[in-house]
Every structure is written in structure tokens, then in C-alpha cells.
Amino acid sequence: MNSGGGMGTDGDPGEGVRSAAGQARRVLVTGASRGIGRAIAVAFAARGDRVAVHYGSDQAEGQATLQALTGDGHALVSGDLGDPAAAKAVVDAAVEGLGAVDVLVNNAAIAPGDGNRHDIATIGYEDWQHIWRRMVDVDLLGAANVTYCVAHHLIERRAPGSIVNVGSRGAYRGEPSFPAYGAAKAALQAFGQSMAIALAPHGIAVTSVAPGFIATERQQPKVDDAMRAQSPFGRVGTPEEVAAAVLHLSSPEAAWSSGAVLDLNGASYLR
């Protein structure tokens, strides 16, 4: 395990990132109780890494993800990332459960759904404020707070590491019925680029992925011919495709991609 040695022999943090290739790592995946997060956790475990599975409120689904992981030494952690104290506690629990954290995947989010639609022309002002506050607190500030805690953990260990943010195509295409979600994801991707610059001297690479529509178990009922036709491939994406991209971007071999935002939308939206 890459438990702490991180610097290269010449003191260059980047050399430490490169030399860690192939080693098992300790990985915190937020929002891993289902969907994309579960697929990411499963992919890391299949590689031989140890995973801290984070869930917000659904313990049964979090436990189901934990049971789906190959290998042993994994951990289950919980907390509402919209609460700054809980966000810190999640990182502390992951460090305690795994012994350290080498990789962070910021996947937890309040996703668009029937219960949080907020078209500006029809929603009441109080509901508008409530939805904006909740989405920003979890989707942006929660990720920022978890990133802060993991980054300080890595810096204190003088260890290289990787942070991958799960953004969205909506950050570029727009989310007219869910503008808080689109804005939070755009800000998350911009935050990741700022952190890529700030954390590079410490050997910590930061990247983001921007998926289009992904057929998770929750979103599968929405898939229709019109949705498939958005992509010239004639289909929608899968959680496993997002997981594969995250696995690559988190690898020491991909450290030179730090600052990148990778579109994962089957050419359904080009920028």
C-alpha cells in the first residue's frame, strides 16, 4: 500500500506520484451507495484497492455496495456532506477505517429529480431558495470541504494523491429546470481546476469528469428514444463507463492530466 512514502528521492512530489504506479491504494468514494458511485467503488476494489464507501442516509444501500466489493479491508462511512462538521467526520472515519486515504472521488450530489425541479417561471421564492441552498451545500460546498480535509491529510503525510470530481454535462449545456444543479456542477469543475494548480506542488493531481445522461438504476426509467438519439452512438452512458474514466484519471500514470475536465457524453454535447 502507498501508505505514506510519497516523495521521490530528489524531493519532487511529482516523482512520488509516478513511482506509486501499480500499488494498492486507499480510496474514499462519496455518494457510493448506488449508481455511479457504486460502480466507481466496485471498480477500485476490483483493481485491488481498499475503499471507504460513503452514503448519506440510506444505510442499506451503502451496505449493499460494501458487500459488492471484492477483497477485504473496506469501510462504510456515513454523513450529510451538506454539513461542514459531518464532511470532516466522513474523512476522519475513512482515514480511521482504511488507515489513510490516497484517492478521493467527489461523487456525492443532490441529483435532479421530480422533488427538486425549480423552473424559475413557476416555482415559489421560498422553494427556490431552499433548493438552491441544499444543492449548493452538498454538490459544491460538501465536495470542497471533503477536498480540504483529504488534501490536508495528504500534505501532512507528505504523500502524493489524486482527487477526481464527478461533474456534469449540464455545467456546459445548461439545466433550465434544475439551474442550481448546473451551476453547482460548473463551480465544482472550476474548483477542481483551481485545486489542480494549488495542490500540484504537493504531488496531488486533481481532475474532473463531466458525464452526460447515465443509465443508473434511478435514471433508467427515463431512457427513451429521444434520450438515446442525443448521442450519435444511439444510446446513453453506463455507470461502468464513468467508473473506468475515474479509475484512469486517479491513477499515478494520469497525473499529467491534472486540471483536465473529461467529457463523458458520447458526443451528445461538444464544446
Q: Which domain holds residue 209?
A: 23-264
Q: 270 lies in a domain? A: no
Helix (H, G, I), strand (E, B) or coil at 213: coil
Q: Say which CATH number the domain at 174 has.
A: 3.40.50.720
- Is 1's pLDDT higher than 80? no
- Respond yes or no: is residue 269 known to be catalytic: no
Residues 177-196 have a mean pLDDT of: 98
Residues in the chain: 271
- Is 110's pLDDT higher than 80? yes
Q: 123 lies in a domain? A: yes
Residues 66-90 have a mean pLDDT of: 98
Higher local confidence (pLDDT), 222 or 77? 77
Contact criterion met (CB below 8 Å) for 102 and 79: no
Higher local confidence (pLDDT), 132 or 21? 132
How many structural domains comprise the chain? Answer: 1
Q: 2 lies in a domain? A: no
At 22 the pLDDT is 62
Q: 271 lies in a domain? A: no
Residues 131-152 have a mean pLDDT of: 98
- Is 3's pLDDT higher than 70? no
Average per-residue pLDDT for the chain: 92
Q: pLDDT by residue (tens digit) across 201-230?
A: 999 999 999 999 998 877 777 888 998 999
Whole-number Cα distances in Å, 63 to 28, 88, 205: 15, 21, 30
SS3 percent helix, strand, coil of the chain, rounded to 5, is 50, 15, 35
The active-site residue out of 55, 125, 172, 181 is 181
